[in-house]
Chain A
Amino acid sequence: MSTAATPAAQAPRPPLNWKAIDEDPRFQTLHSKKVTFLTSLMVFSLIYYFLLPIGAAYFTDLFKIKVYGVVNVGILFALSQFIVAWGIAFYYTAKAKKFDAMAAELVRDADKIGR
C-alpha cells in the first residue's frame, strides 16, 4: 500500500529521504545497469519478434525453404519465437537476482541514507 493510504502503519517511522537515496552511488549504479539491461533486452526481443510478420510477408521464399522433410524455415522460425521468448525470460530472471541483491542493500540502509 502506498504511504498515503496507510498513514497509521508509517507513522512511527520518519519519512525516508528519497532524494538522498536517489543520489546514493549504489542506487545510481543499480539504476544505470538496470535501465541499460532492460532497454537492450527489450529492443532485442522486439526486433526478433517483428522479424516474423515482416519475414512472412516480404521474405516468403525464404520461409518456404525446406530444412528437413516437410519442415521449412517458416515453421522453425515460428517455433524459435517460443524458445527465444522463454530464453529471454530465463536470462532476465537470472540477471534480476543480481539486481535484487543490489536493491536489498539499499532497502536495508534506507533509513540511514541522507541523515
Chain B
Amino acid sequence: MDKKRVLLIAAGALALPLIAMPALAQGAVADQWKWLTFLVFGAIIAVTMYVTFVAAKRVKTAADFYAAGGGVSGLQNGWAIAGDYLSAASFLGIAGLISLYGYDGFMYSVGWLVAYITVLLVIAEPCRNIGKYTLSDILAYRNDPKKARIVGAISTITVSTFYLTAQMVGAGVLIKTLIGIDYEVSVMTVGVLMLAYVLFGGMVATTWVQIIKAILLVAASILMVIMVWSQYGFFGDFLTNVVGDAKVQARVATLIGDKATNLSATQLGQIFLEPGLFLKVPLDQISLGMALVFGTAGMPHILMRFFTVPTAQAARTSVNWAMAIIGGFYVLTLFLGMGAAMKVGAPAIAGIDPGGNMANPLLAQALGGGPDSLGGNLFMAFVSAVAFATIVAVVAGLVLAAASAMAHDLYVGVIRKEHVTPQEQVKAARIATIFVGAMAIVIGISAKGQNVAHLVALAFAVASSANFPCVLLTLFWKRCNTGGIVLGMIVGTVAAIGLVMVSPNLTYPKAVKAAAQKVVDGAPARMAPITEALASGDAAKIAKAERDKAAVDKAVAAAKANLEKFKGDDTSIMGLEKPLFELRNPGLISIPLGFLAVILGSLLYRDKRSEDMWDELYVRQTTGILAAKATAH
C-alpha cells in the first residue's frame, strides 16, 4: 500500500515539471541543456524517494515519526543538522553576496557558525536529557503543561511558517531563474515532494534526505573550490589574484562611485577585501548577529533534531560534526564567491538575479567549460539540482516541526490531554503534516512576487526573542515558571514582529514615489549628453550612447510604473509614511525584552508545579539520569 503511494507521488512530482516543459521560459540554463538538468533532478528525486520508501516501513510509532525512534547516531545527526541548516540562502545567497560585495559577504557568514556554540553549550544536551519530540515538551516539563504547550506550539508554528514561506517563495523564484519552470509549478513540485518525504517517512526519511543533501552540497562545494584553486591558487595567491582581477576592480569602482576616481586599479581590488561595501548600518549588523547567535538555539526544527539521538553524548557529537561541516562549508564560500567574482564577474551574476543567487550555478558552468560545453552544463545542472535538493530538505524539516506542534502539542497534549492510542498519535501526525504541507503550497503560491527576504530574519528574530529566553531560563533558572514563559513568549513574539512591521523592511510608498519622481525629473538632464553623443557621428560614442539611452529609458519606465502603482497611496501597510524603527533586524531590542518578560512574569506569578519540578528537571538536564531509558523500546 505504502509502496504504491510513494511511487505514485514520485511519479507525480516528476511529471509536474515535465508537463510544464512546453511552457518553459528563459532561465540560466540554456534550452538545449535543460534535459540534463532534469536528468540530474530526476536522479536525486529517485534516490530520496527510495530512501523514503525504505523509511516508511520503519515508521510505526509517534516516536519513529517525530524522532526517528531516537536511533540516529551522532555522526548521522551532525550531517542532518547541517542539511537542515544550510538552506539555499547559504549555498546560493552567501556565495552570491561574497561575489558581489567581497569581505562583507564573508563576514555575514560567520554568525551562522558561531550560532552553534550556543546550541552546543546550553541547549543540545539539556534538551536531549529532558525532552521528547518538541520544543513545548521542554517547556511543559516543569511548567503548567496546557499553557506551556499552547504558547510553545503557537510560537513553533509562527517561526516555522515565516521560515517556510521564505523557503517556498525562494524555491519558486530560484527554479524559475535556473531552468525557467513556472513559479506555481516549482512551488507545487517542492511542496509535493516534501509532503511525500514527511508523510510516509516521518523523521526517518527527513533525516536521510537531509544527510544526502548535505553530502551533495559539501561534495559540490569542495569540487568547485578545488577547481577554483587550481586556476587561481590557494589562499595568499588566490587573494592576490582577486585584488588584481579587472572584473573585481570594475565592480568596486561601480560600488563606490565618485570615490574611485583617484584610486589605482590595485587599490580598488584591495577594497574588495575590506569591510564597508555592503553593510552600511553597524547596529543592524550587531542586531542580526544577536538574532543568529540566540535564534538558532531557539529554532524548533533544529531543537527537534536532538531528540533523534539516543544520549546527551550523541547530541554533543552531532553538534561537533555539524560545526565542522557548517564551518568548513562557510570557509569554502569565500573561495566560491570570490572565484565567481573573477571567473563570471559581477555584471553577469547580477544580470540574472540582482541578489547574486546565481553566482554558484554560473561559476559551476564556467568551471566545467563554459555555457556551450557539455561539461559546463552538466556541472551547472548538478549544482542546480543540489540547490533544489537543499530547499526540499530544509522545507521537510520545517513542515515536520510545525506538524509536530499541531499534532503532538495541541491535539494530543491539550485537546486530548494525552489520552490517545499510539495509532491515533501517528494518524494525527500525518493529518497535521498534510495540513501544513498544503498550507505551505497555498502560502507559497499566494505570496508570489512578494518580498520575503525579511521573513527569514523575522523567523530568527522570533526564535531568539521568544523561544530562546523561555527554553534557556526554564532549563537553568530556578525561579522561572509558567507566568514567565507565557509572558516571555507573548512579549518576545510581539516585539520581534511589531518592530519588523514598522522597520525599513516594508515598502513605504511615499519614499518609493519620491525616489521615482527624482528619476523621472532627472531624466532630461541625463539624456542631454546622450543626445549630443548620438548626433556626434562617432560610431563608438553612438554605440555607448545607445546603451546609456536604453538604461535611462528602462529606469524611467520602472520609476513611472512605481508612481502609477502607488498612486494615491502614501503609507505602508501599517499606515506609516516612514519607518518608526530604523533597524532591519529587531534582535537588539526584542531579545532583551523577551528575557525581561520571562523574568518579570516569573517573579510576579506563583506556580507550585514549576517550583516542585525544579529539582527533577535540573538534576535530569545536568546528569542525564533516566535519559538513557528514553530510547529503550
Residues of A at the B interface (CB closer than 8 Å) are 1-5, 9, 16, 18-19, 21-22, 27, 30-31, 34-35, 38, 41-42, 45-46, 49-50, 52-54, 56-58, 60, 63-64, 68-72, 74-75, 78-79, 81-82, 85-86, 88-89, 92-93, 96, 100, 103, 106-107, 110
Contacts and interface: CB of A to CB of B under 8 A. Distances in A.
Contact of A22 (B111, B286, B618): B618
A27 B324 contact: no
A1 B573 CA distance: 46
A4 to B, nearest CB: 8
A28 to B, nearest CB: 11
B289 interface: yes
B310 interface: no
Nearest to A97: B313
Given A22-B619, A58-B282, A85-B114, A49 B293 contact: yes
Interface string B330-341: 110000000000
Contacts of B286: 50, 53-54
A19 B478 CA distance: 13
B121 A49 contact: no
A39 to B, nearest CB: 9
A42 to B, nearest CB: 5
Contacts of A58: 282
Size bracket of the B interface: 35 or more
Contacts of A21: 615, 619, 623, 625
Given A46-B293, A69-B240, A57 B323 contact: no
A4 B616 CA distance: 12
A95 to B, nearest CB: 11
A52 B110 contact: yes
Nearest to A59: B275
B324 A31 contact: no
B327 interface: yes
B320 A30 contact: no
B128 to A, nearest CB: 12
A42 B110 contact: no
A88 B114 CA distance: 10
A94 to B, nearest CB: 11
Contact of A56 (B107, B114, B320): B107
Contacts of A75: 103, 106, 239, 273
Contact of B623 (A27, A74, A88): A27
B630 interface: yes
B28 interface: no
A106 B235 CA distance: 50
A102 B357 CA distance: 49
Contacts of B324: 86
A85 B117 contact: yes
Nearest to A23: B615
10 contacts: A2-B132, A4-B418, A35-B476, A56-B107, A71-B236, A71-B239, A82-B331, A85-B117, A88-B117, A103-B623
**A4, A46, A85, A93: most-surrounded residue (chain B CB, <10 A):** A85
B622 A16 contact: no
B137 A2 contact: yes
B624 A3 contact: no
Contact of B107 (A30, A38, A52, A86): A52
Interface string B71-112: 000000000000000000000000000000001101100110
B222 interface: no
A52 B289 CA distance: 10
Contacts of B111: 49
B114 A45 contact: yes
B623 A85 contact: no
Given A58-B282, A78-B106, A103-B624, A96 B316 contact: yes
A31 B594 CA distance: 26
Contact of B243 (A16, A70, A100): A70
Interface string B212-246: 00000000000000000000000110011011000
Nearest to A2: B132
B4 interface: no
B410 interface: no
A44 to B, nearest CB: 10
A74 B630 contact: no
Interface string B47-73: 000000000000000010000000000
